[in-house]
Chain A
Amino acid sequence: MVKRYGAITAVKGVSFCVPRGEFFGLLGPNGAGKTSLIRMIYGFSPLSEGELLVFGKDIGTQWRYIRSRIGVCQQDNTLDPDLSVEQNLHVFAGYFNMKPAETRSRTDELLEFFALQHKRRSKVMDLSGGMARRLVLARALINNPELLILDEPTTGLDPQSRHQVWDRLGALRERGLSLLLTTHYMDEAASLCERLLIVDHGKALVEGSPQELIEEHAGRNIIEISPAPDGLLAFLEAKGAAYDDLGDRIVIYAGAESGLEETLRTRFCIDQCTIRPAGLEDVFLRLTGRGLRE
């Protein structure tokens, strides 16, 4: 897929495939092109170049079929402030041509699933951030979608609400739902997604399961030493070790095989020295750099 906005190329040829039933995550810094990709997938933006099949159908011609089988939670809040919580779901069901009886039962089911029954008649404006986000999710599920597309579903939520959302998504996984998710929370990606794609500057960097990515790109343990003692950099160069020099701090990616970790611990851990298991965040920062975006 390629996406251009006038002179800007936001997506520069990204390909990926999500099998049915998989929870797939898109990671990338601000402006990487995640939302642009997602908008093409649900037919909001036309592709500038390339080909895109959803459920085996072309989004350009079969968009109505595709959209009737997916649920989308957009990055911006698009809840209808003119309508109550319940009306938001009812009106949305209408767009999917759902029958009134089905709409009512599905609405009750979802309000209960997302613990929103008591807010049924509230105005959307009066909901807290967490409740609004849950309502967006409920709305995205109104048509019983086979594929759920979530663009940063838990941004701005407290840990309680995030865990609640994750629990709900976990429950949906059991029912065979496929998920395409973008997030800036590495723990969210690691715990929810079976496979991840990291994108930056509109290009795909790496793809794999969270575990694979960590092993391949961050090693087993991370050793942070600050400030760098004499001879450390020379030693790392000589060993061919993977590390980032942040000036006041050296971050070393220690794989399982070499005796690197042991040597560092004994020879260089003088002042401040942390050893911790490598995580997805290390992979992310290593691959996309530490510079600020946009």
Chain B
Amino acid sequence: MSVRYRDISWRFLKVLHRDVVVAKRLWKVNFLVPLLEPAFYILAFGLGFRTLIGDVDYAGLKLTYVEFLAPALIASAVMWNSFFETTFGSFVRMYYQKTFDGILATPVSLEEIIVAEMVYAALRSTAAAAIMVAVLTPLGFVAFPACLLIPLVAFLGGMVFAAAGMIFTGAIPTIDMFNLPIFLFITPMFLFSSTFFPMTDVPVWGRVLSWATPLYHVVELTRGLALGAMDSDPWVSLAYLLIASIVLGDLALRSMKRRLVK
């Protein structure tokens, strides 16, 4: 079953609206995680690791380890939020709740449902990033007013991870098998995409691998906006994320259509 782009209209906003109505019911839980998560990391690394790790050289700046880490926490929250939403979240709606089946009896196309799911996931990333920026800016870890652009980066990055998650949702037979892509892709990205250590001392092959991951580009852009300087070219990273969201988005639509059109 091929993807029909002409079947995508603004009606996808109605499906998005559904997800937002549900999110509002759970807003307290949804807000708590991005609010507390950076606090935990900063406490752990700021207090616990302070004596173990010295300063970090990044893009000509001399940073404490926590200053280096804080923007990357925002970037990885972007990844986790949208990837979880289009894997576990969408799978439950698709498979257990049959929400998509119900919607397919109305003048909404499957393409619109999938687009709405991905946009919703990206918006969750955006909201998480915005909350974290609101926590980290007054603490001095994120520069004002450039930080106001971080949610935009979060949305774009969120679309990339949402699409990646959706590809697996279309392909995976049972819900517990999501552990596999998480173990194989998400966790390594979380650890090796210049999140916890700068790329300067890493051998070339490591740098290339890291560069190839979307998280690296989200981390770099977030760091650039938070610190006012970055190691790489922001336009390259933006282009990477834009292209990745389009390519992966198309693959996600294909994957879900193959699964759901019977």
How far, in whole Å, are A63 and B101 apart by their CA atoms in the complex? Answer: 15
Could you give, for residues 55-74 of chain A, a 1 whenever the CB lies within 8 Å of some chain B CB and a 0 otherwise?
A: 00000000111011011101
Segment among B102-110, B185-193, B208-216, B232-240 that sits at the interface with chain A: B102-110
Could you give, for residues 266-288 of chain A, a 1 whenever the CB lies within 8 Å of some chain B CB and a 0 otherwise?
A: 00000000000000000000000
B259 within 8 A of A: no
Looking at the assembled complex, report how far the CB atom of B151 sits from the nearest CB atom of chain A, in whole angstroms: 25
Choice from A70, A83, A95, A140 contacting B103 with Cβ under 8 Å: A95
- Contact, CB under 8 Å: B102 / A80: yes
Assuming the contacts A67-B106, A82-B25, asked whether A95 and B11 have C-beta atoms less than 8 A apart, the reply is yes
Residue of B nearest to A87 (CB): B21
Could you give, for residues 4-32 of chain B, a 1 whenever the CB lies within 8 Å of some chain A CB and a 0 otherwise?
A: 00000001001101100110010000000
A5 within 8 A of B: yes
A91 within 8 A of B: yes
- Contact, CB under 8 Å: B22 / A44: no
- Contact, CB under 8 Å: B97 / A81: yes
- Contact, CB under 8 Å: A82 / B15: no
B99 within 8 A of A: yes
B98 within 8 A of A: yes
How far, in whole Å, are A61 and B18 apart by their CA atoms in the complex? Answer: 26
- Contact, CB under 8 Å: B107 / A96: yes
Looking at the assembled complex, report how far the CB atom of B115 sits from the nearest CB atom of chain A, in whole angstroms: 14
How far, in whole Å, are A79 and B109 apart by their CA atoms in the complex? Answer: 18
- Contact, CB under 8 Å: A79 / B105: no
Residue of B nearest to A143 (CB): B106
B261 within 8 A of A: yes
- Contact, CB under 8 Å: A79 / B102: yes
Residue of A nearest to B97 (CB): A81
Residue of A nearest to B106 (CB): A95
A45 within 8 A of B: yes
Looking at the assembled complex, report how far the CB atom of A270 sits from the nearest CB atom of chain B, in whole angstroms: 54
Residue of A nearest to B18 (CB): A91
By the criterion of a CB under 8 Å from any partner CB, how many residues of chain B are at the interface? 23
Q: A72 to chain B: which residues have CB within 8 Å?
A: 105
Q: B97 to chain A: which residues have CB within 8 Å?
A: 78, 80-82
How far, in whole Å, are A28 and B224 apart by their CA atoms in the complex? Answer: 65
Q: A77 to chain B: which residues have CB within 8 Å?
A: 98
How far, in whole Å, are A44 and B108 apart by their CA atoms in the complex? Answer: 11
- Contact, CB under 8 Å: A96 / B1: no
Looking at the assembled complex, report how far the CB atom of B244 sits from the nearest CB atom of chain A, in whole angstroms: 30
How far, in whole Å, are A82 and B98 apart by their CA atoms in the complex? Answer: 12
Residue of B nearest to A44 (CB): B104
Q: Which chain A residues numbered 31 to 46 have a C-beta less than 8 Å away from chain B?
A: 39, 42, 44-46
Q: Which chain B residues numbered 69 to 115 have a C-beta less than 8 Å away from chain A?
A: 97-99, 101-109
Choice from B14, B25, B98, B261 contacting A94 with Cβ under 8 Å: B14
By the criterion of a CB under 8 Å from any partner CB, how many residues of chain A are at the interface? 32
Assuming the contacts A5-B262, A80-B18, asked whether A95 and B108 have C-beta atoms less than 8 A apart, the reply is yes
Q: B104 to chain A: which residues have CB within 8 Å?
A: 44
Residue in B11, B18, B22 whose Cβ sees the most chain A Cβ within 10 Å: B18
Q: B107 to chain A: which residues have CB within 8 Å?
A: 63-65, 67-68, 95-97
Q: B25 to chain A: which residues have CB within 8 Å?
A: 82
Q: A83 to chain B: which residues have CB within 8 Å?
A: 18, 21-22
A92 within 8 A of B: yes
Could you give, for residues 104-115 of chain A, a 1 whenever the CB lies within 8 Å of some chain B CB and a 0 otherwise?
A: 000000000000
A294 within 8 A of B: no
A257 within 8 A of B: no
Choice from A46, A74, A92, A94 contacting B1 with Cβ under 8 Å: A46
- Contact, CB under 8 Å: B14 / A74: no
A76 within 8 A of B: yes
- Contact, CB under 8 Å: B105 / A45: no
How far, in whole Å, are A262 and B21 apart by their CA atoms in the complex? Answer: 69
- Contact, CB under 8 Å: A46 / B22: no
How far, in whole Å, are A228 and B164 apart by their CA atoms in the complex? Answer: 68
Q: B99 to chain A: which residues have CB within 8 Å?
A: 78, 80, 82
Q: Kindly list 10 other residue pairs between chains A and B, CB separation below 8 angstroms, not including A82-B99, A91-B14, A95-B11.
A: A45-B261, A45-B262, A67-B105, A68-B106, A70-B105, A71-B105, A78-B102, A94-B14, A96-B106, A97-B107
**A interface vs B, CB < 8 Å?**
5, 39, 42, 44-46, 63-65, 67-68, 70-72, 74, 76-83, 87, 91-92, 94-97, 140, 143
- Can you list 11 A-B pairs with a CB-CB distance of less than 8 A? A44-B104, A74-B101, A74-B102, A78-B105, A81-B97, A82-B97, A92-B102, A94-B14, A94-B18, A95-B106, A97-B14
**B interface vs A, CB < 8 Å?**
1, 11, 14-15, 17-18, 21-22, 25, 97-99, 101-109, 261-262
